[in-house]
Amino acid sequence: MKTLEIPRPTELNLVERVLAGDHAAFYDLIRPYERMVFRTAVSVLNNEADAEEVAQEAVLKAFKNLASFRREAKFSTWLVQITLNEARMRLRKYRAGLYESLDAGQESDDGDYIPKDYADWREIPSEALAKTELRQALAKALQTLAPMYREILVLRDMEQLSTAEAAEALGISEASAKTRLSRARLMMRDALAPGYDGAWSSGEGYKKVRPF
Amino acid sequence: MKPEEVLINCGEMFHLISNYVDDAVDPALRARMEKHFRTCRHCTAVLDGTRNVIRLVGDDQTFEVPASFSKKLYAKLDEYLKATQK
């Protein structure tokens, strides 16, 4: 688990303190989630500069609306929801005047996805992770995903939300979340597996591998 | 033939691998999938690759948050709180 898990009473306690006027407690409440807020914003906007601004707006909004946070909910899911809303509002502003709606042009999430290639991709040597080539390939693969796939992948596999939490934050059913996640992972694999022939660690560049 | 021995084809497998990795398939289906993996290199390659994607995407080193992000965020928050506390 990558996200720092704060015991629930402590987190609720921080919420109570902020609401009672101890504004400094809000910093402690937000700190474990600041990266999550940023990366969630990137997943919608696909742009770091916009995501920084949206993340700031989302955190301010969380502060202003803290009284409406339901105690039985999970703070992280609530915060992700606010961030997604802010990011989508920003996107809508950009698209104002265009005919397409937010969902226009998105692929439907039903239907089968067949891998393009069966390149063998067994192991990631740990040193390969430190390589710029691999990081760039990952960033590029993520950027080329349609937003509906990038969002679920970021919430589930990057931020480690459960399927139920991610579905709730995105306002979709769990079944739909699972289907989108499956597609997202297969598309990422398709984008990355063929390059994984040692190129990331040897620096020899891209080669397609089709062992079958 | 027992029902759990009904063969799964690769198309169905591609659909299920993500749930399999998340441990979100029931034991009977899991057993059928494992049987398929034992004889199918394609699906095994897709399984390994899916696991690698999850591992890479979940690695904190993979996607960096800009170094100045945190500082700017708290500066903004300071500014807002100062203005409201007047």
Contact A40, A78 (CB under 8 A): no
User: Is the model's pLDDT at A61 over the cut of 70?
Assistant: yes
Q: Which residues in chain A are closer than 8 Å to B42, comparing Cβ atoms?
A: 115, 118, 212
Shortest Cα distance, chain A CAs vs residue B5, angstroms:
23
| pLDDT tens string A79-101 | 999 999 999 999 888 877 555 44
Say how many CB pairs under 8 Å bridge A and B: 129
More confident residue, B23 or A204: B23
Average pLDDT over residues A24-53: 95
Shortest Cα distance, chain B CAs vs residue A211, angstroms:
10
User: Is the model's pLDDT at A208 over the cut of 80?
Assistant: no
Note the pTM of the prediction, 2 decimals.
0.83
Average pLDDT over residues A48-60: 96
Looking at residue A155, the DSSP 8-state letter turns out to be I
pLDDT given for residue A3 in this prediction? 60
Test A158 with B74 for CB contact under 8 angstroms: no
| pLDDT tens string A138-180 | 889 999 999 999 999 999 999 999 999 999 999 999 999 999 9
3-state per-residue secondary structure call for A61-106:
HHHHCHHHCCCCCCHHHHHHHHHHHHHHHHHHHHHCCCCCCCCCCC
Shortest Cα distance, chain B CAs vs residue A169, angstroms:
19
pLDDT given for residue A132 in this prediction? 76
Whole-angstrom distance, CA of residue A197 vs CA of residue A122: 10
What number is the ipTM of this complex? Answer: 0.90
Test A120 with B42 for CB contact under 8 angstroms: no
pLDDT given for residue A211 in this prediction? 38
Backbone angle region of A158, left / alpha / beta, with phi > 0 → left and psi within -120 to 50 → alpha: alpha
Q: Which residues in chain B are closer than 8 Å to A136, comparing Cβ atoms?
A: none
Q: Which amino acid is at A155?
A: L
**Closest CB to B53 among A2, A178, A189:** A189
pLDDT per residue as tens, chain B (86 positions): 455 466 899 999 999 999 999 999 999 999 999 999 999 999 999 999 999 999 999 988 788 899 899 999 999 999 999 888 75
pLDDT given for residue A198 in this prediction? 47
More confident residue, B51 or A121: B51
- Cβ-proximal residues to A24 (8 Å cutoff; 6+ apart), any chain: none
CA A83-A173-A171 angle, to 5 degrees, is 25
Shortest Cα distance, chain A CAs vs residue B40, angstroms:
11
Test A158 with B41 for CB contact under 8 angstroms: no
Q: Which residues in chain B are closer than 8 Å to A60, comparing Cβ atoms?
A: 76-77, 80
pLDDT given for residue A108 in this prediction? 52
Looking at residue A45, the DSSP 8-state letter turns out to be H
Test B73 with A34 for CB contact under 8 angstroms: yes
Contact A91, A43 (CB under 8 A): no
Confidence of residue A72 (pLDDT cuts 50, 70, 90): confident
User: Is the model's pLDDT at A30 over the cut of 80?
Assistant: yes
